[in-house]
Amino acid sequence: MAADPAVQLAPNVWRLRLVGDFVNGFAFREDDGQVTLVDCGLKRSPDRMSAGLRSVGIAHEDVTRILLTHAHSDHAGGVAEMARRTTAPVSVHSHDAGWVRAGKSPPLDQSLRLGRLMQRLMRKGKPAFEPVPVDEELTDGQLLLIAGGLRVLHTPGHSPGHASFLHEPTGVLITGDALFNMRGIGFSIPFFCTDFKLSRHTAHRFSELDFSVAAFTHGPHVSTAARTYVGEFLAAYQAG
């Protein structure tokens, strides 16, 4: 039996399973029915995202906003198509906005041999995903009036404008790619980062937050002792 395309994390908050548990998007529904999406997965993900929304009674016309954690093709690959289906505007942190508008991903970490190799293998000058206009450039600490309050947390390193989001009313923390949860919790894949050391450093910001659900864009969420799960992992590493 196929797994459900949408998993409820809290009242009116869902994880959308875009490629199993490997790639996730998220949906927040307001009391008046308006919906905000966070990330749209790969180029092939919109059908799966639409199915997840339908499974919880959300129509395309209910979606009034799309947020991106960052400008990588496994998060922004489906955003142009979802923007067409919903007519919703797109928002991303200001440091990644130019990359989203160009349909390109930021440079990879040149201090790493694999980063340099991957950068050379990337198709120069060609978009990594379909470009899309950015309606709003987000800033660190900004409180978005989404489902009672969604806080923007700038956690750069994986990309210059990588952002995580904390839904303050429910305690759902979307880590983006600052942390993965595939076969256990871990930091970003180093050679997919713009600056891996910075990414590891800024992930320690989560240890200062109050949250009850850790929702990862790669891997299943954690809702039992989530703050301890994340905190103990981060405590094993020096922030530096």
CATH number at residue 103: 3.60.15.10
Asked if residue 184 is part of any domain, the answer here is yes
In a domain, 1, yes or no: no
**pLDDT tens-digit profile of 131-182?**
999 999 999 999 999 999 999 999 999 999 999 999 999 999 999 999 999 9
Distance CA 37, CA 58 (A): 11
Note whether residue 240 is domain-resident.
no
| Total number of domains constituting the chain | 1
Kindly indicate the confidence band of residue 8, based on its pLDDT and cuts at 50, 70 and 90.
Answer: very high
Residue 173, domain extent: 6-124+137-235
**Looking at residue 191, what is its pLDDT?**
87
160 part of a folded domain: yes
Q: Whole-prediction pTM value?
A: 0.95
Q: What is the pLDDT of residues 200-229, one digit of tens each?
A: 999 999 999 999 999 999 999 999 999 999
Mean pLDDT confidence for 99-115: 85
Rounded Cα distance, 129 and 125, in Å: 12
Q: Reading across the β-sheet that carries 143-144, which strands appear in turn?
A: 143-144, 150-154, 163-167, 172-176, 213-216
Residues 6 or more apart from 149 whose CB is under 8 A from it?
143, 167, 168, 169
Domain assignment present for residue 130? The answer is no
Report which residue type is found at 4. Answer: D
pLDDT for residue 115: 58
Return d(Cα 56, Cα 27) in angstroms, integer: 10
